[in-house]
Amino acid sequence: MSRIDRIFARDAKVLVAYLCVGDPSVEESVELARTCLRAGADVLELGVPFSDPTADGPVIARASQRAIANGGGLAATLRAARAIRAEAPDAGIVLFGYYNPLFVRGEARAAAEAAEAGVDALLVVDLPLEDGAALRKAAFERGVGTVPLLAPTSRADRVAATRQIAAGGGVPFVYYVSVTGVTGTAALQAGEAGARASELKAQIGRPVVVGFGIDSRDKARAAARQADGVVVGTALVRAIQQGPTPAARRAAVENLIRELRAGADEARTC
């Protein structure tokens, strides 16, 4: 059983927190990751900032540009992962990003470095199943999982292909992109998204989390009622961006994560 498998096996909804590593600095991202874990996040998505984040809305796109300007990138994100893993042996760590930084590094080398840094799984937003076989294999051989994505536009053929790949192992969970759009979209119908996540879980046989648009206790509760977990990304990045000092940013992150944790916990009991 992998580390993330154990997290999903607990009797609680899973809270996943996305950080754009390098915004406002790589060191502070590590500090904010600690804060997330302390406040109740179970899994960290450590975002590798990319110059052309076409699946992201303006909040994360701008954070990515700031992070790159501050020395962020694949190497810095792996450094952050190593630092977090040293202190948090049980936390789930997902390396989250776009394909080009991994491809340019070399898939085998990137997978090996991820394993060495204590990363549990890779999530590559612009690498659909068909073109991702080589990276999946490179990761799997080094004990690193890969997280497939499904979207509201995904029909039965995509779900079936995901199920086939998950059956081969190395898929700790599935990320359901709950909105047809980019990250940070406000239009989320959290309850419907959670219901769809539950259907997908039944079809694929792996835990399914809901991402895109989870920004409040209410939405976390509504989505987590039927999903295995929820992801917070844009709301967290925005909270960090709006904090004027490191202490204010830590406090904002802590408050938001505690709110979402409470929402996810309420989903279990209602």
Residues lying near another protein in the complex (CB under 8 A) are found at: 50-57, 61-62, 65, 68, 73-75, 99-105, 125-131, 133-134, 136-137, 140-141, 148-155, 157-158, 160-162, 164-165, 167-170, 177, 180-182, 185
Q: Which of residues 100 and 216 has its CB atom nearest to another protein in the complex?
A: 100
Q: How far apart are CA 45 and CA 101, in angstroms?
A: 16
Q: Which residues contact 69 (CB under 8 A, 6 or more apart)?
A: none
Least CB distance to another protein at residue 179 (A): 9
Active-site annotation holds for 56: yes
User: Could you say which of 23, 28, 42, 45 is catalytic?
Assistant: 45
Active-site annotation holds for 45: yes
The phi and psi torsions of 202 (rounded to 5 degrees) equal -65, -35
Q: Which of 241, 185, 244 is nearest to 65 (CA)?
A: 241
Q: Which of residues 34 and 50 has its CB atom nearest to another protein in the complex?
A: 50
Least CB distance to another protein at residue 209 (A): 14
Q: Which residues pair with 79 in a beta bridge?
A: none
Least CB distance to another protein at residue 151 (A): 4
Is there a contact between 35 and 250 (Cβ–Cβ < 8 Å)?
yes
Q: How many CB atoms lie within 10 A of CB 136?
A: 23
Q: Which of residues 150 and 267 has its CB atom nearest to another protein in the complex?
A: 150
User: Could you say which of 23, 28, 56, 107 is catalytic?
Assistant: 56
Q: How far apart are CA 110 and CA 107, in angstroms?
A: 5
Is there a contact between 16 and 233 (Cβ–Cβ < 8 Å)?
no
Residue that has been written with the tokens 């206790």 in this structure: 217
Q: Cα 184 vs. chain centroid, distance in angstroms?
A: 14
Least CB distance to another protein at residue 100 (A): 4
What residues act catalytically?
45, 56
